[in-house]
Amino acid sequence: MRVVVADPGFRVERVRRLLDDHELDVVSGGEPWEGDDVVALLIGTDVRVTPEDLARLPALKIVASCSVGYDHVDYEEAERRGVWVCNVPDYCVEEVADHSLALLLGLLRGIVELDRSVRAGAWDWTAAGDLRRIRGTRLGLIGFGRIGRALAERASAVGFEVWATDPAVSPQAIAAAGAKAASPDELLENCEAFSLHLPLTPETKGLIGAKELASMPRGSVLVDTARAELVDLDALLGALESGHLAGAALDVLPAEPPTRELPAPTAPRLVVTPHAAWYSVEAEEAVYRRPVLSVRDVLEGREPAGAVNRP
């Protein structure tokens, strides 16, 4: 039986050690995968698993991804074929909440812009434009799952007035977590800082476009550490160029890493980090260990942790 490692972060030797009780051939392998002896795929978000891939792997038992998102796997077709699909839904909750708060504070206090100004030879405390007092600033969280709640806790502690909207979370649950529940329109019109914490689905793709950006009060800031496709990038850059938005921070881009054809975006008061919100030494260890343990669960007849379907 073979376990195919399709993401280099897993490190083949470590996977072998974690599965050393089983007679398995652990190999690195790119697409197309095929063979009636492949029982597991270990992948990352840059690898798509399609119905065609699944059809070429009749013995496949599990696809385990080192990620929170799982939209890169056709999990419904996998379920139909009796294949588990697993993710690691909570490995970087603390890190993404920390990173999101750091970006919000950096935008509202002009940290990056002021640093760039000094390094360009200036000494001007107004170089970042009007800066905002954190206490009392209304922060709108669009999405209130694990990360949204963790950010709400942190943001409240430093003085933000936290609002939140999430179609999957009741107003009562939002209020119980210490945030003010609001409709999407209410949140967009009344908050001054925004942070996105939603999965990418057909319903959320392009959720923040020109109309939504125009609804935000002039001088607002926006942070996206979730998925690039949640935001219309051209509309966002236009809102920054016009000055309607005072700043934005992106940890996710349409092309990662940027290419000559799709370069990293540039605009006034735009901060870009290289999809680093998830990272800490602790999170890196967990994200590559837990999918392998899910493979082990399946091979030993147990329901795997992090399962997103029920074959």
| Catalytic residue annotation | 227, 256, 275
Place of tokens 């920390």: 98
d(CA 275, CA 297): 30
Identify whether the C-beta of residue 288 lies closer than 8 Å to the C-beta of residue 17.
Answer: no
Q: Is the distance from CB of 281 to CB of 255 less than 8 angstroms?
A: no
CB 7 within 8 A of CB 66: yes
CB 298 within 8 A of CB 62: yes
What tokens were used for 296? 């082990």
What is the C-alpha to C-alpha distance for residues 282 and 279, in angstroms, rounded to an integer?
A: 8
- CA quadruple 181, 187, 190, 194: dihedral sign: positive
CA atoms within 13 A on the CB side of 299: 22
Residues 170 and 186: their CA atoms lie apart, in Å, by: 16
